Structure 1
Amino acid sequence: MRNWRRFWAAAIVAMGLGVAPALADSGSIRLTIVKGGWFLGAHGGSGVLVFHGRRYPLSVGGIDAGLVFGLSKTDFHGRVTHIRAASDVAGVYGAGGAGAAVVVGARVIVLTNEKGAVLELQGRQIGLIANLDLSGLVISLR
């Protein structure tokens, strides 16, 4: 009888350890990013993360290497998943991309940082820009 109790206790603990990654949470995010360049580019902006009913202001910055011509502003909205705390959204996100906007265009992007946070963003891009580049996006809490 005693061995069965130990078995069930060990089984429950093992199942609990296996469920731990599923305890990650999600939040909503809004970012405004201005991007510009001539061959090499840069982008910067700000945003807000809403996580567990609290608002966390964000700063965004980065560089683009490749072919970048023009200037644009993109207002993104979406969600961030696989986070346990608001600070998990901070980090470096990398992406390769191609796009163009003549006055108004649409953008959809999925990015992951080194902590495993996943950004699923969509937005409206305004400006005159053409790009085929590798981008590094750095998000930090203000």
Structure 2
Amino acid sequence: MKFPSAARAVLLALALLTGSSAALADEGAVTLVIFKGGWVFGGSAGKGVMTFHGKTYGLTAGGLDYGLVFGGSQTTLQGRVRNIRRAQDIAGVYAAAGAGVAFGAGIRGIVLTNPNGAILELGGKQVGLMANFDLSGLAITLKE
């Protein structure tokens, strides 16, 4: 079956348009150190860095938790942020439901998404005494 050249041009244009946004998305490396504590209500605060296109950006993080939250911990997370087009896309509020227990040292992994479409895939070590089964939000800002 042979397509007329106009139909081929339209199909090619549609393919380029639908694939262009995914082709422009990129990823960067992220390290965050987060301190968390609470009793029913909890809070977290931390800082970190993102490396994107050879440049390092400072990050700050903070959030609130509600649910079964008890204790305090420090978590060091490393991983990547995917689906970003510019460094500013990492900024935003990430929401999650989670559960965990740390007594001494533990391992933590998390995948979060923000309204910009950025996907954080992080894992690392958690140290402290913490039990949680909660809803939480983490706001990340980019220091420029």
TM-score exceeds 0.5? yes
**Pairing 1:18-29 to 2, within 5 Å after superposition:** 18-23=18-23, 24-29=25-30
Q: Distance in 2 between matches of 1:63 and 1:7?
A: 53
Identical positions, percent: 51
Q: Distance in 2 between matches of 1:68 and 1:14?
A: 49
Cα offset for 1:20?
1.7
- For 1:67, what is the secondary structure of its paired residue? strand
Q: Distance in 2 between matches of 1:52 and 1:108?
A: 25
Cα offset for 1:11?
2.5
Match of 1:87 in 2: 88
Match of 1:110 in 2: 111
Q: Distance in 1 between matches of 2:62 and 2:98?
A: 17
- For 1:135, what is the secondary structure of its paired residue? strand
Q: Distance in 2 between matches of 1:9 and 1:54?
A: 39
Unaligned 5+ runs, structure 1: none
- For 2:117, what is the secondary structure of its paired residue? coil
Unaligned 5+ runs, structure 2: none
Match of 1:71 in 2: 72
Q: Aligned-pair RMSD on alpha carbons?
A: 1.3
Over residues 30-81 of structure 1, what are the superposed CA-to-partner deviations in whole Å (9 max), with x where a residue is unaligned?
Answer: 0000000011100000011111111010000000001111110000000111
Name the aligned partner's letter for residue 8 of structure 1.
R
Match of 1:16 in 2: 16
Name the aligned partner's letter for residue 41 of structure 2.
L
Q: Distance in 1 between matches of 2:55 and 2:5?
A: 43
Over residues 77-107 of structure 1, what are the superposed CA-to-partner deviations in whole Å (9 max), with x where a residue is unaligned?
Answer: 0011111011110000000011011110000
Cα offset for 1:9?
2.9
Match of 2:33 in 1: 32
Q: Distance in 2 between matches of 1:47 and 1:100?
A: 23
TM-score norm. by structure 2 comes to 0.93
Q: Distance in 1 between matches of 2:87 and 2:4?
A: 42
Cα offset for 1:22?
1.8
Match of 1:57 in 2: 58
